[in-house]
Structure 1
Amino acid sequence: MTQPPHDPRPATSDDEELLEAETTAVLSEFTDAQRLLRIQDELRAGFRALSHVGKAVSIFGSARTPRDHPRYEAARRLARQLGEEGYAIVTGGGPGIMEAANRGAREAGAISVGLGIELPHEQSLNEYVDVGVTFHYFFTRKVMFVRYASGFVVFPGGFGTLDEAFEAATLRQTQKIRYFPIVLFDSAYWSGLTDWLENTVRRDGNVVEDDVRSLVVTDSFADVRAELDAIEHRRPRVAPRRAA
């Protein structure tokens, strides 16, 4: 049987095909109406699936972190400890740091949540997810990360990880959320970012000191728990930029 010629172009998503279309015919009112319904359905599915999780922590980090990396084990251990203290663990449901955190939650007997995303190269939820929801739109997924978590713990990662961290920082800065810790775990990785925020962004007048100090950089599990405990008791607290 004759095989079709290889197409070197990367796989595309429905959104990409829509945005790259040369004709405006696809941008019909009917298509927009369908999108609105899809957004509504995604929000409803997320609310339904996560309504029972109770207090939770969202843990982020690179999908490229291998299982034999120290950060993988750190994320696994931290999630296990938080799970033993009654927190559900919420991740993006993928491999790497996300898998490690879901694995730690499973080991602790805590609720292990994975919020997946449809991508051109499909990525399935990892094997340690107990409650899984897959989203088409990034922004509906982000609603769930913030809506059902008491705070974020952000391990080293790339653009997706940075996106989640800065999204939460923006919500805090604008007081859309108030009692919400954002902990950047692994000071060796994050110190360059926080130095830039302090010495360039703040000095240029684009943020204030409290904006930078609200990002807690640490290597300590105890610091993570302390930040979450402070929020659980509804006591707003600004921690030092680098925990001792």
Structure 2
Amino acid sequence: MHDLSPVPLDVAASAQQLVDGAGITLNADLVSRLLETGVDLGLDAPSRLDLKIASAALTEMRAAFRLFAPYRDVPKVTIFGSARTQPGNKLYRAAADVAKELSARGWMVVTGAGPGIMQAAAEGAGPERSIGVSIRLPFEDKPNSIFSESGNVVAMKYFFTRKLMLVKESHGFVCVPGGFGTLDEMFELLTLQQTGKADPAPIVLLDSPGGTFWAGLKRFVHEQLVPSGVVSADDFDRVMVTDSVSAAAEEITGFWRNYDSLRWVGHRLVLRLRTEPTPDEVDELNQRFGNLLTRGRIETSEPLRLEVKDDDRVHLPRLVMRYDPRQVGSLHRVIRAIDALPSSLAGDIPNIGVEEPIHD
């Protein structure tokens, strides 16, 4: 690896002075770091293309962050699918229907803002419940017409910044059959979940009534990938394959029935819940998932010291455990088990309170 030399002290001081002069107080240290990194790039003498990529990516992310900011506390679901699907197709209707049902449950729908399935989802949710993250392509020069009513759309030059925003802001995902782009997005979701680079979230592979597209993929995974040892036998268990719109919507919202959020505090994993499990239910969780811990037990707990310091969801009950980070891909099974406990099923499914995870 190349050694990254530290920013000269006078540059760091100048960056801090610029931040102070602009009146920035919130996260001022991170803003200073951005400025210092920009100077670092210049000192590295990169090519003009390298600088154009970095500058455009940061500009696009800023525009997307501003678009999503007013809806930070609204739960969102991203719907992926083909731009080539026509309005008369059953898949088009399925995408519109699941978006409509989730919108009725208080969720916003995020799409790539293009035609086909993306337009169907935006139509189903309605312009005020839709957010679009479009890509500038030679053959698609503008977002679909739904976003002309609300303006809830941002255009991206790069696929990687677009994919970041389609995944980062959402707490559930629906994939409708599509081509290379849809499969790329679906497999990236599975990879992020499997490796723990994204927090657990529900993923639904939705087909038209009687469709076999995703069933074929599931068969390929179990007949080819699992026997060859490149994926684990339960890796595909984290997704739901269905042709039912109501089942898809229930899967997305039901994942958040009791589970609220998580935080790592050192080697301890904290799961924040809406309803505290009973002692017998905690014993049941230990019996089922004790093998996923490095030591000790799953225990109910008061907020940990760092959580109190940050005022981080301290009003919620929580479970604390020494969870094996190598087993992070199995967290979805723990969460689903918590959501299925009798104490969790006592109330209605709430609208989720969106919180960004903190890793200490």
Scaled by the length of structure 2, the TM-score of the pair is 0.56
Look at both structures and tell me which one has the larger radius of gyration over its CA atoms: 2
Instruction: Give the structure 1 partner of residue 321 of structure 2.
Output: none
How many angstroms apart in 1 are the aligned matches of 2:199 and 2:225?
22
Report percent identity of matched pairs: 40
Aligned match for 1:32, one of 50, 59, 65? 50
Q: Structure 1 stretch 213-222 or stretch 159-168: which is displaced more?
A: 213-222
Deviation at 1:90, TM superposition (A): 0.5
Moved more, 49-58 or 94-103: 49-58
1:147 aligned partner: 168
Q: Which residue does 2:70 correspond to in 1?
A: 52
Distance 1:179 1:52 in 2: 24
- Tell me the equivalent position of 1:220: 244
Find the aligned partners of 1:31 and 1:155 in 2 and give their Cα distance. Answer: 36
Query: Measured at CA, do residues 100 and 199 of structure 1 come closer, stay the same or move farther in structure 2, by a change above 3 Å?
Result: same
Q: Which amino acid aligns with 2:77?
A: V
Gaps of 5+ in 1: 1-26, 240-244
Query: Which residue in the other structure is 1:112 paired with?
Result: 130
2:206 aligned with 1:185, yes or no?
Answer: yes
Aligned to 1:242: none
Following TM superposition, by how much is the alpha carbon of 1:110 offset from its aligned partner in structure 2, in angstroms?
Answer: 4.5
Greater relative contact order (Cα 8 A, min sep 6): structure 1 or 2? Answer: 1
Q: Is the 8 A contact 2:79 2:111 kept in 1?
A: yes
- 2 CA distance for matches of 1:66 and 1:150? 27
Which range moves more in the overlay, 209-218 or 37-46? 209-218
Match of 1:95 among 111, 115, 118: 115
Find the aligned partners of 1:58 and 1:138 in 2 and give their Cα distance.
16
Q: Is the Cα–Cα contact under 8 Å of residues 101 and 249 in structure 2 kept in the other structure?
A: no
Question: Which letter does structure 2 place at the counterpart of 1:137?
Answer: Y
CA distance in 2, matches of 1:139, 1:237: 26
Q: Distance in 2 between matches of 1:231 and 1:123?
A: 37
Distance, in Å, in 2 between the alignment partners of 1:97 and 1:136 is 21
Separation in 2, partners of 1:177, 1:192? 26
CA shift digits 1:20-79 (9 cap, x unpaired): xxxxxxx96233222211111111111110122221000011111111112111211111
Code of the aligned partner of 1:214: R
Distance 2:250 2:186 in 1: 19
* Structure 1 segment 1-244 matched on structure 2, within 5 A: 29-53=47-71, 54-106=74-126, 110-129=128-147, 130=150, 131-186=152-207, 187-232=211-256, 233-234=258-259, 237-238=332-333
What code does the residue aligned with 1:189 have? F
CA deviation vs aligned residue, 1:61-120 (integer Å, no higher than 9, x gap): 1111111112111211111111111110011101111101000111xx752111110113
Deviating 4+ runs (over 6 angstroms): none
Distance 1:229 1:140, change over 3 A: same
- Code of the residue aligned with 2:81 in structure 1: it is G
SS in 2 for 1:203: helix
The answer to whether the Cα contact below 8 Å between 2:79 and 2:173 also exists between their aligned partners in 1 is yes
2:175–2:186 contact (8 Å) kept in structure 1: yes
Indicate the SS of the match to 2:259: coil
Tell me how far apart the structure 1 counterparts of residues 47 and 249 of structure 2 sit (CA, whole Å).
49
TM-score by length of 1: 0.81
Letter in 1 for 2:213: Y
Question: What SS does the aligned partner of 2:234 have?
Answer: helix
Q: Give the CA deviation at 1:212.
A: 1.4
Whether the 8 Å contact between 1:58 and 1:153 is mirrored in structure 2 is yes
Tell me, yes or no, if the aligned pair for 2:97 and 2:245 is still in contact at 8 Å: no
Rounded Cα–Cα distance in structure 2 between residues aligned with 1:234 and 1:138: 31
* Aligned 8 A contact 1:88 1:105 in 2: yes
Specify the code of the residue in structure 1 equivalent to 2:252: L
SS for the counterpart of 1:134 is strand
For residue 227 of structure 1, report the CA deviation from its aligned partner. 2.0
Distance in 1 (CA, whole Å) between partners of 2:153 and 2:89 is: 25
- Give the CA deviation at 1:145: 1.0
Query: What is the alpha-carbon root mean square deviation over aligned residues?
Result: 1.9
- Deviation for aligned residue 1:214: 1.5
